[in-house]
C-alpha cells in the first residue's frame, strides 16, 4: 500500500495550519451540541403532537429558509468579512438555544413556539452557511483544501454519532431542557475559536456591486454552464429531495415502525453518523480529485438503494445496518461534491456558488420532508420512502453511466 503514508500526510498537513486547527477544535465541540439539540427538537415535536405532518413542518422550518436566504447570504459572504458574519450568526444560535431551554424548563413550550424558534435557526443558517463554507479555503494552504473538506465531514459525522447517543441518554433521564442548555454552552467553544482566528484583511471586498439578484443569477448560470458542477448539482437536487428527508423521520420510524422509543432513535441516528465517519475517513485519505464525480454518482445510487432497504425493513438490526450504509454513501457523495465545488469555483464567486450548494443541501430535504410527511399521513411512512429511494437510485445510475471513466 505505497500511497497510504502520503494520504495520512495530507490529513496531518491540514491540521498543521494554525487557523484551521483552531477553527476545527471549536467547531467539533459545537457540532456535538448542535446534534444533541437537533435530535431533541425532532423528538420534542413528535412528543408534543405525534403527527408526521408537524414533524415534517418542523424539519421544513429548520431546512427550508436557506432556500430563500442562502443566495443572499452567499452574496454577503463575497462582499463582507466572512469571519464577522459567521460570529454574528453563532451568537444568534446561542440565544435561540437558550430560549428553547427556558421555555422547555418552564413548561411553556408549544409546537408553535418550537416551530418559530426552529425557523429563526433556519433563517440564520441561510446567512451562516455560505460564510462558513467560503471561509475554509482561507484557513488552509491550497494543497490542503481537499483533506480539509473531508476532515470537516468526518468531524460533522463524528458529532452525528456522539451527539445523538448523548441526546438519547439526556432525553431518557433528564428531558429536553438540559439538551438545549448543553447546546447553548457548546457554542461558546465556537465563539472562542472564531475570535482566535488570525486572518489577513479580505483581499477584495468589492466597491462596486451589481444588484444582489443579478449576482445570484450569475452564479446560477455559472454552475449550469460548468461541465462538472452542472451534472453534480442535478444529482444533488434529486438526492436531497428523495433520500435525505429520511433523517427527519427517524423519530417516527423509531417509535411507530420499530417500537424502540428515544433509545432506538439514538441508535438509528448514531448509525448514520458512524457510517458517515467511515465514509469521511476514506475520502480524507484520497489524494487529489481523480474520479470524484463518479464517486459522487455511485454513492448517491447506493444511498437510494439503502433507503429502500431501510424503509422496507421490519427487523430493527437490519434497519440499523441499512441506515449505517446509507450514512457511508451520503457522506462520500457529499464530500466529493463539496470538494469539487470548493476547488472548481473561482474565489470571487465562491461564496455564491457554495450558497447554492448549501441551498440544495438544506432546502431540498426541507421540501422533501414536507411532501413525504403529507403523503405519509395517508399511506404510512414506508411506501413514500421506498418510492423516494428508487427514484434516487434510477437517476444516479443514469448519470453514473454518462460520467467519463477514470483516466489512470
Whether the per-residue pLDDT at 150 is higher than 80: the answer is: no
All three cell numbers of 73, joined, read 447570504
Q: Is the model's pLDDT at 187 over the cut of 70?
A: yes
Give the pLDDT confidence of 2-16 residue by residue, as tens digits: 344 455 566 777 788
The alpha carbon of 322 is separated from its chain's Cα centroid by a whole number of angstroms, namely 19
> Which CA distances in Å does 43 have to 93, 111, 316, 371?
20, 11, 19, 20
Convert 357-379 to b/e letters by CB count within 10 Å (16 or more is b). bbbbbbbbbbbbbbbbbebbeee
At 121, list the grid cell: 435557526
pLDDT on residue 6: 53
Bigger pLDDT: 146 vs 333: 333
Question: 298 versus 78: which is more confidently predicted?
Answer: 298
Q: Are 339 and 149 in contact (CB under 8 A)?
A: yes
Write the burial class of residue 80 (CB in 10 Å: 0-12 exposed, 13-18 middle, 19+ buried). Answer: middle
pLDDT at position 5 is 42
Inter-residue contact 156 to 20 (CB < 8 Å): no
- Region of 259 please: left (phi>0), alpha (psi -120 to 50) or beta: left
CA distance 220 to 243: 24
pLDDT greater than 60 at residue 408? no
Check if the beta carbon of residue 108 is closer than 8 Å to that of residue 249: no
pLDDT at 145 exceeding the cut of 90: no
**How many other CB atoms sit within 10 Å of the CB of residue 59?**
27
**pLDDT attached to residue 180:** 95
**333-352 pLDDT tens trace:** 888 887 777 776 666 677 77
If phi > 0 it is left, if psi is from -120 to 50 it is alpha, else beta; for residue 380 that is left
Rounded Cα gap, residues 268 and 168, in angstroms: 11
The answer to whether residues 177 and 101 touch, using CB atoms and an 8 Å cutoff, is: yes
In the predicted structure, residue 225 carries a pLDDT above the cut 80 = no
**More reliable by pLDDT, 320 or 403:** 320
pLDDT of residue 101: 96
Residue 34: pLDDT above 70? Answer: yes
Q: Is the pLDDT of residue 289 over 70?
A: no
C-alpha cell at 18: 494554525
Distance CA 218, CA 55 (A): 36
Asked if 338 and 233 count as a contact pair (C-beta separation under 8 A), the reply is: no
Q: Does residue 202 register a pLDDT over 80?
A: no
Q: State the Cα–Cα distance between residues 391 and 408, nearest whole angstrom.
A: 31
> What is the domain partition of the chain in residue ranges?
15-197+205-402
pLDDT confidence of residue 79: 78
Query: Of the segments 17-26, 195-204, 335-344, 362-371, which one has the largest average pLDDT value?
Result: 17-26
Binned at pLDDT 50, 70 and 90, residue 33 comes out as very high
> Is CATH 1.20.1250.20 what the domain over 15-197+205-402 is classified as, yes or no?
yes
Other beta carbons within 10 angstroms of residue 348's beta carbon come to: 10
CB 41, CB 58: distance < 8 Å: yes
pLDDT digits (tens, 9 = 90+) for 64-101: 787 788 788 777 877 778 888 999 999 999 999 999 99
Q: What is the pLDDT of residue 406?
A: 55
CA 300 and chain centroid, separation: 15
State the Cα–Cα distance between residues 361 and 344, nearest whole angstrom: 18
Distance CA 344, CA 359 (A): 18
Amino acid at each position: 500500500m505505497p500511497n497510504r503514508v502520503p494520504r495520512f500526510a495530507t490529513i496531518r498537513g491540514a491540521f498543521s495550519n494554525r487557523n484551521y486547527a483552531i477553527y476545527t477544535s471549536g467547531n467539533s465541540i459545537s457540532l456535538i451540541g448542535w446534534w444533541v439539540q437537533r435530535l431533541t427538537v425532532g423528538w420534542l415535536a413528535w412528543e408534543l403532537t405525534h403527527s408526521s405532518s408537524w414533524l415534517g413542518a418542523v424539519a421544513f422550518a429548520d431546512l427550508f429558509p436557506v432556500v430563500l436566504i442562502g443566495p443572499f447570504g452567499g452574496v454577503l459572504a463575497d462582499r463582507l468579512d466572512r469571519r464577522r458574519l459567521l460570529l454574528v450568526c453563532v451568537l444568534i444560535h446561542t440565544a435561540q438555544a437558550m430560549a428553547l431551554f427556558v421555555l422547555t424548563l418552564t413548561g411553556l413550550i408549544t409546537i408553535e413556539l418550537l416551530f418559530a424558534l426552529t425557523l429563526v435557526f433556519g433563517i440564520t443558517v441561510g446567512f451562516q452557511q455560505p460564510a462558513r463554507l467560503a471561509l475554509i479555503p482561507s484557513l488552509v494552504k491550497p494543497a490542503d483544501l481537499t483533506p480539509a473538506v473531508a476532515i470537516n465531514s468526518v468531524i460533522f459525522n463524528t458529532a452525528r454519532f456522539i451527539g445523538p447517543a448523548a441526546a438519547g441518554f439526556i432525553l431518557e433521564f433528564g428531558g429536553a431542557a438540559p439538551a438545549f442548555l448543553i447546546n447553548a454552552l457548546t457554542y461558546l467553544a465556537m465563539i472562542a475559536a472564531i475570535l482566535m482566528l488570525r486572518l489577513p484583511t479580505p483581499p477584495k471586498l468589492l466597491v462596486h456591486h451589481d444588484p444582489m439578484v443579478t449576482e445570484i443569477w450569475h452564479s446560477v448560470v455559472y454552475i449550469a454552464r460548468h461541465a462538472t458542477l452542472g451534472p453534480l448539482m442535478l444529482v444533488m437536487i434529486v438526492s436531497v429531495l428523495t433520500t435525505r428527508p429520511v433523517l427527519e423521520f427517524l423519530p417516527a420510524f423509531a417509535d411507530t415502525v420499530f417500537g424502540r422509543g428515544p433509545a432506538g432513535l439514538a441508535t438509528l441516528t448514531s448509525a448514520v453518523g458512524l457510517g458517515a465517519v467511515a465514509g469521511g475517513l476514506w475520502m480524507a485519505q484520497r489524494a487529489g480529485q481523480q474520479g470524484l464525480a463518479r464517486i459522487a454518482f455511485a454513492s448517491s445510487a447506493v444511498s437510494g438503494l439503502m433507503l429502500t432497504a431501510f424503509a422496507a425493513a421490519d427487523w430493527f438490526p437490519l434497519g440499523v445496518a441499512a441506515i449505517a450504509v446509507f450514512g457511508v454513501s451520503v457522506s462520500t457523495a457529499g464530500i466529493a461534491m463539496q470538494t469539487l465545488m470548493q476547488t472548481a469555483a473561482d474565489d470571487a464567486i465562491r461564496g455564491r456558488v457554495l450558497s447554492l450548494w448549501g441551498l440544495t443541501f438544506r432546502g431540498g430535504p426541507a421540501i422533501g420532508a414536507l411532501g413525504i410527511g403529507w403523503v405519509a399521513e395517508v399511506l404510512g411512512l414506508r411506501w413514500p420512502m421506498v418510492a423516494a429511494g428508487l427514484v434516487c437510485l434510477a437517476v444516479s445510475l443514469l448519470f453514473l453511466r454518462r460520467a467519463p471513466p477514470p483516466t489512470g
